[in-house]
Homo-oligomer: A and B are copies of this chain.
Amino acid sequence: MEIEEILEHFHPLPPASKAALKACISEARYPKGHTLIRSGRVEKTLYFIRSGIVRAYSDADRGDVTFWFGKEGDVVISMKSYVSGQPGYEHVETLEACDLYQMKAQDLEMLFASDIHIANWGRKLIGQELIKTEERLISMQFKTAQQRYLDLMSATPDLLHRVPLCHIASYLGITQVSLSRIRAEIR
């Protein structure tokens, strides 16, 4: 997915603003298993996914908990770092070799302060992430694990072929054993 398409997806941008954004963006390729964002730090870089899949996870008592999958067109960003300037609680790692567009958070901050179109673009970007997160929260609150699995299957069926089930189970808020049971029932 080309950078123009990704940027415009959040909110239309006048040509000058788009050019200013693009001027700050470079490309990079990372192998599978590479950590893009590490918890406990104030992250200085953000990414747009040109191709590939990543996951965000947090440390829990027993193992880690995947709470987000990013794919083509998504933004990879430590929300906590980005919003509050404080160390984030999430790790983000690539699950496949990924082509990414990358950008310094500080450059983006400068653009936010100087270009109102970019500021509003950033506002929309965060807003869209918020909606997605809120919808997931609600589905966690009143759907069964089986319904959540079926929803995920119909929304992003390719995920199941590209991501280990242990991460999907964790994303659904259940154990891998539970997920196996659900899958067996459906078959």
Q: Are A130 and B173 in contact (CB under 8 A)?
A: no
Q: Are A123 and B131 in contact (CB under 8 A)?
A: no
The one of B60, B67, B120, B122 in contact with A113, judged by C-beta atoms closer than 8 angstroms, is: B120
Which B residues touch A129, using CB under 8 A?
130
Q: How many residues in A have their beta carbons less than 8 Å from beta carbons of B?
A: 39
Contact with B along A123-155 (1 / 0, CB 8 A): 110111111011111101110000000000000
Q: Chain A interface secondary structure, helix, strand, loop or mixed?
A: helix
The one of B61, B119, B136 in contact with A137, judged by C-beta atoms closer than 8 angstroms, is: B136
Given A140-B141, A141-B65: A134 touches B173 (CB 8 Å cut-off): no
Q: How far is the CA of A130 from the CA of B68 in the complex (A)?
A: 13
- Residue A30 CB within 8 A of the other chain: no
Please tell me how many copies of the chain the complex holds.
2
Which B residues touch A134, using CB under 8 A?
67, 79-80, 133
Q: How far is the CA of A113 from the CA of B119 in the complex (A)?
A: 10
Which B residues touch A60, using CB under 8 A?
142
Q: How far is the CA of A126 from the CA of B126 in the complex (A)?
A: 7
Q: Are B131 and A79 in contact (CB under 8 A)?
A: yes
- Residue A186 CB within 8 A of the other chain: no
Q: Are B130 and A119 in contact (CB under 8 A)?
A: no
A60-B142, A126-B127 known; 8 new pairs, CB 8 Å cut-off, are: A79-B127, A79-B131, A114-B116, A122-B123, A123-B126, A133-B133, A136-B137, A140-B141
Please list 7 pairs of residues, one from A and one from B, whose beta carbons are closer than 8 Å in the complex, sorted by A's number.
A60-B142, A79-B134, A82-B127, A123-B126, A130-B130, A140-B140, A142-B173
